[in-house]
Chain A
Amino acid sequence: MDNTNLQERLVQKFGEQIFGFEENFGILKLYADKNINLKIMQFLYDEEDLAFRFLTDLTAVHYPNQEGAELEVTYLMYNMYRNQHIRLNFGLDINQPDIFTATKLFETSNWLERECYDFYGVNFVGHPNLIRVMNVDEMDYHPLRKEFPLEDQTRRDKDDEMFGRGGDFSYGNMNIKG
């Protein structure tokens, strides 16, 4: 069951709901509609010849330029016997970032989803305890989104001009809106 067979099985089962496939350094990656995230994960878990029963990683990436799918939640599932990874990406609109939770399937995703919520504001529907995990509870913004700066703006003892960063936070890397 290598990556091409895996791709065929998934296309056979889900057809149009998967938008595209990619392969990066040996790991197959698929983009799909966010409403079927649990269905895909359950399918990969249950089928005997697929058997992806370990969740390695869960995180999100913010692409401010992709209208309608700014927040991309990504799951990395793993089959220990065949030593095969698969990556699932789901795009969420930034004004309503809802997606179903995977806590019933994998206990691993409990705190990983809380971390995603804390950093990006992704709302996992059905999570038992979706509160902030790393930052202080009183924080009212989601810090890892691209529009927020790294430094604490209320600090008095560090002079931005002397540190070589006056004003612009893009550091010559990419275009940030606003």
Chain B
Amino acid sequence: MIHNKRPVTHNTNVKVIDELPDGYQGEGFMAMQLSKVVGLARKNSIWPLPFATSCCGIEFMATMGSKYDLARFGSERLAFTPRQCDLLMVMGTISKKMAPVLKQVYIQMAEPRWVIAVGACASSGGIFDTYSVLQGIDEVIPVDVYVPGCPPRPEGIIEGVMRIQELVETESVRRRSSPEYQELLTSYGIK
């Protein structure tokens, strides 16, 4: 028997109650679409891989700091290994020497995987329209969200992550095995 001397108060302002998708509820059960539950769980626990090459990487460090905290969105554990993470955040200029490395890292990630291109250099080459810079990472890998800026403010990076969260929430569980997705990958030369 546990004697509770302290009055127990419950926090009624819980986020998940607002966000709970609609379904049938009854006494002791709740029935809803599986994809919605999976989407809700996935979107609040995205593990990013920060592929930081240059200046945007420093803004990412500031985003992970305590003022603009990215960990509140579930991205507490930054994995540096592609085998264990969901979101590839490419931050900084990718040169032609680095492009095969980036492609290899993308291939090593397991499905489902998302890619966010942070900064002008990753989106389109940025101010470096030169012979040695890849003009945007979408020449080698498929990208989901682009965040413009040079470098983007931490609020911009957080907005990019929130858009990814929207994509993750609404993605169909059958997308990764659909023929359109396979066609997208083969157009980049990824099997």
Contact = CB atoms under 8 A, between A and B. Distances in A.
A8 interface: no
A135 interface: yes
Which range holds the interface residue count of chain B? 10 to 19
Interface stretch (A81-89, A123-131, A147-155): A147-155
B97 A152 contact: no
Contact of B130 (A136, A151, A157, A163): A151
Contacts, number: 31
A155 B130 contact: no
Interface string B124-160: 1100011111011000000000000000000000000
Contacts of A134: 132
B136 A151 contact: no
A158 B131 contact: no
A151 B133 CA distance: 9
A151 B129 CA distance: 6
B96 interface: yes
Contact of A158 (B96, B97, B132, B135): B135
Contact of A152 (B124, B131, B136): B131
Q: Which of B125, B129, B130 has the most CB of A within 10 A?
A: B129
Interface residues of A, number: 13
Q: Is the interface of B mostly helix, strand, loop or mixed?
A: loop
B96 A151 contact: no
A150 B128 CA distance: 10
A136 B124 contact: no
Interface in A146-171: 148-152, 155, 157-158, 163
A83 to B, nearest CB: 34
A143 B135 CA distance: 18
Contacts of B124: 157
Nearest to B99: A136
A118 B85 CA distance: 37
A29 to B, nearest CB: 30
Contact of B97 (A136, A149, A150, A163): A136
B130 A150 contact: yes
A163 to B, nearest CB: 8
B128 to A, nearest CB: 10
Given A152-B135, A158-B135, 15 more contacts: A135-B97, A135-B132, A136-B96, A143-B131, A143-B132, A149-B131, A150-B129, A150-B131, A151-B129, A151-B130, A152-B130, A152-B132, A155-B129, A155-B135, A158-B125
Interface of A: 134-136, 143, 148-152, 155, 157-158, 163
10 residue pairs, one from A and one from B, having the closest CB atoms: A152-B131, A136-B97, A155-B135, A151-B129, A150-B130, A143-B131, A136-B96, A135-B132, A157-B135, A158-B129
6 contacts: A134-B132, A136-B96, A143-B132, A151-B131, A152-B135, A158-B135
